[in-house]
Amino acid sequence: MLTSQRKQLILEKLGAEGQVQSKALSVLFDVSEDTIRRDLRELAAEGRLQRVHGGALPSSSATVPFAERKSVKMDAKRKVAQKGAQLISSGQVVIVDGGTTTSELIAFLPHDLRITVVTHSPSIALGLVNHPSIEVILIGGRLYKHSIVAVGAAAIEGIENIHADLFFMGVTGIHPEAGLTTGDFEEACIKRAFSGRAAETVVLASPEKINTASSFVIGDVALANTIVVEGDTDQGWINAVSEKGVSVVLA
């Protein structure tokens, strides 16, 4: 079998099963584990999968630049964002992460909703400028241009002075075993810090993020108290996440 054929079969198996193990692949194709690891390494370099210990998971498409992500699964993002907005009550302090799905979230906030929004995203802050009843606190720091959010020591220091009711966390991958992941180390640190300052963490999960993984771990799936997904999300995935103690809300 040609290497290209084996790689294609690996990707097909990954798509069908949601994960692959190096040892099982070496038996299946009758090649060494070193050969399989090389295949996975090359596929990961092409952005076709995410390597993890012992094998690989599907790679999230949500790691592309912000401008490109704005056109990915927009109908689904609007559905979960609208459902997420219904979780907010008047008088709350709400942390809103940067991202294309959270950008949709703020569009569904009622005009009479009186809350305080804390964000490290200039885009989120600007999106709320004309909202008549929402106070906005913008966390500063070094601008991470890929996601258009503030990161670094100054951002962490600002976050430490907050007690919030809700945190709407943006992620690029959600997997029952690999956890909540994102494509940048500093962003992962910021997200953990925000989650630690909120009574409840909510993840708005559009389809391209489900059962995928990125390079940097934010935390276990159970770091999220609630995950909002589309109504047609795979029931097996929902069950696996629910077993971790996470409430899954269908949009």
Read off the tokens for 147: 């996601």
The pLDDT of residue 227 is: 97
The pLDDT of residue 156 is: 95
User: In the predicted model, is pLDDT for residue 65 greater than 80?
Assistant: no
Write the CA distances from 24 to 13, 19, 32, 36, 192, integer angstroms: 11, 11, 11, 10, 34
User: In the predicted model, is pLDDT for residue 79 greater than 70?
Assistant: yes
Read off the tokens for 199: 């009574």
- Residue range 190-210, pLDDT digits in tens: 999 999 999 999 999 988 899
Q: How far apart are CA 152 and CA 140, in angstroms?
A: 9
Segment 12-22 shows an average pLDDT of: 86
Q: How far apart are CA 103 and CA 176, in angstroms?
A: 25
User: What pTM does this model have?
Assistant: 0.81
User: In the predicted model, is pLDDT for residue 62 greater than 70?
Assistant: no
The tokens 């962003």 sit on which residue?
187
The pLDDT of residue 17 is: 84
The number of CA neighbours under 13 Å toward the Cβ of 86 is 9
The pLDDT of residue 46 is: 85
The pLDDT of residue 57 is: 87
